[in-house]
Each structure stands twice: as structure tokens, then as C-alpha cells.
Structure 1
């Protein structure tokens, strides 16, 4: 077993997508936890203590925009790298994500190799703020 590359919290209300991301990252050497929506993410983030969070945008209860905003507003979570993974590919959506302070933006459908590379880069980079 290689060295652990980091801990990732995968947040998506679609179980198939959530498992696809989790399996790809686990095979690459990340420790992966999952959450089914933004509220579940916020409820678990302190216990999981992830280096990176992959976050879907369109989810029940609490969407990715609001989840990312709350993560950035909380001093205890603002250092965590956040990547939005969404079918929303409009430039306005990307700008909104970067305005909130997300670190990366990947559109669905995505190439698993690209996902892995972005998460690797985020996990290696120093914490935000």
C-alpha cells in the first residue's frame, strides 16, 4: 500500500456519481468519505477533516453554492480545498464558484483522469487563506 495522498469528502446526491468519484480516488491512494448533500457535508466535515471536498452543485436540502459559501465563511473549514463538480457549465456558474472561493471547477461528464489530477494538485497545495 502506497502513502496516503490525502483525505477527500465526496459530496453528491447521485449515488452512482458519488461512488464513481470515490472508487477512482480510492484506487489512486486517497482516503475517501462520502456525503449525500450539502447539509450532510457540513454535519460531517469536522469529523472527516478532509484535505479536499468535491461538491456537486444541484443537491436537495443544501446546494453546492450555499455549502461552499458556508465552508468559506467558517474559520475552521476555510482552509479546505473545494472543487465543484457539476453539469452547470455556463461561464456565470464558473464565475459564481470562483467568487465564492472554490479552488477548482469540473463539469460533468468528466474524465476520471482529470478528476484525479485536480484532486492530487489540490491535496498537495497549501491550505486556502
Structure 2
């Protein structure tokens, strides 16, 4: 199996070394940079599988890096874990709005960070021969579970790993109402210290991509007030 490549970007050398040490123990190939511009350069040089990104960086800040990645066709589906001392809810929501898949605040547990890295890479690294069971087809929506690809009206549209997982889980349960707490537990996992606002942010981004790329004027992801979300049953 191909060795996964992770880029760690932080201007605190002790943090970088701590993260690098723990990830390398798990068999990952780890690259490090200490400023935003160097991080963008490294992403062009190496085929990175996951980015661990601080927010407060020299040259280019972490939020700007995240924004640039999500607007880049070649990098838009790169998993991003933000690792930052900014712990206010507004900072967390902003990071998620800009496309982060996960948000870890300092001080942090290296074991928890590694667990989150593993969870994301495990979900984005599936492979194998495609069968009908590996695809979910709902109207003009085709979700390829092996390739982590989504086709909308026969056009591939990039979703971040968390957006993809939300869409997949909702589509698999089309017609059923899934609560916010259920989605939070299933997608982010046991022990995640975020709240259900995290789900709302990712749902909003996923819904927007569906609405912007499908011709029909249909609300595919329906909000059930006070409960959660439901994917509309399509004929």
C-alpha cells in the first residue's frame, strides 16, 4: 500500500516536531513547513494526502491557505485538519465554513490528533473494483463510494471528505430523518469535542454544491426543524 503523505504547517517548532514524531510512528511520511507560502509551494511539489494546518502563520495565514486550496481544482478535495490555539466558537465555525474537515485546538492530545488523521485517511483511501453496490444513484446524483467522487448531471463536483461522508450517509438513508447528534457521531466519531453547529456548517456547504450543480430546482437535503436532516426521496 502506498505510504500516505502528510504536510504539517505550524510556526512553532516544538509543535511541528511533536506532531511529526507521532505521525511517523504510525508509518506516515511527514513533510513540514513553518510558513504559509512554503506550505503552498510544498503542495505543488508533493502529492500530499492530508494537511495539518495552523491558523496563525507567517507570510500567508491558515484561513487564506484553506480558502486557496478549496478554490483550486487540483487540491479542492485535500483533507484539512486545522490545529490552532484559536478556540472560540466563531473561529471554529469560520474554519469549517472555509472547508476544514476537522478542527483541533491547542493544547491537544497527540493520540487524539493521530486518531483523527487515521479516521479521515481511512475514509478517503478506499480502493478496489467498482460494482453497482459501490455506487449510490439518486436521480442525476451518482456517488462513487470507491473513488470518493460525486457526479451531478454527469459532471464531477468536488466535495471535501466530510461533505462527501455527510452526503453519502444521507443518500444511503434517503427519506429518513437523521438527527444532528447521530450525524456528528457517525461522521466525526466518538469523543469529538465539537457541537452540532459543525454539522450545520457542513450541511450548508454540501447543500449549496448540490443546488449549484443540478438543473432541477429541488431541495435535496431537507431540514427537519428541531430534529435534523433528511435526503429527499427521488424517483
TM-score by length of 1: 0.93
- Note the C-alpha offset of 1:4: 5.6
**In the aligned structure 2, how far is the partner of 1:62 from the partner of 1:122?**
25
Question: Which has the higher Rg, Structure 1 or Structure 2?
Answer: 2
Pairing 1:94–2:92 present: yes
Residue 31 (structure 1) aligns with: 29
- Taking the TM superposition and a 5 Å limit, the aligned residue runs for 1:41-60 are 41-60=39-58
Residue 110 (structure 1) aligns with: 108
**In the aligned structure 2, how far is the partner of 1:87 from the partner of 1:58?**
9
Please list every run of 5 or more consecutive structure 2 residues that lacks an aligned counterpart in the other structure.
125-147, 149-157, 160-235
**Deviation per CA, 1:51-104, whole angstroms, max 9, x where unpaired?**
110000011111110011101110111111001000000000010011001100
- Note the C-alpha offset of 1:46: 2.2
**In the aligned structure 2, how far is the partner of 1:4 from the partner of 1:28?**
14
**In the aligned structure 1, how far is the partner of 2:103 from the partner of 2:4?**
19
Residue 78 (structure 1) aligns with: 76
- Note the C-alpha offset of 1:5: 5.5
**In the aligned structure 2, how far is the partner of 1:23 from the partner of 1:47?**
22
**In the aligned structure 2, how far is the partner of 1:124 from the partner of 1:51?**
11
Aligned-pair Cα RMSD in Å: 1.4
1:113 alignment partner, SS class: helix
TM-score by length of 2: 0.52
**In the aligned structure 2, how far is the partner of 1:122 from the partner of 1:70?**
21
**In the aligned structure 2, how far is the partner of 1:89 from the partner of 1:72?**
22
**In the aligned structure 1, how far is the partner of 2:25 from the partner of 2:122?**
17
Please list every run of 5 or more consecutive structure 1 residues that lacks an aligned counterpart in the other structure.
none
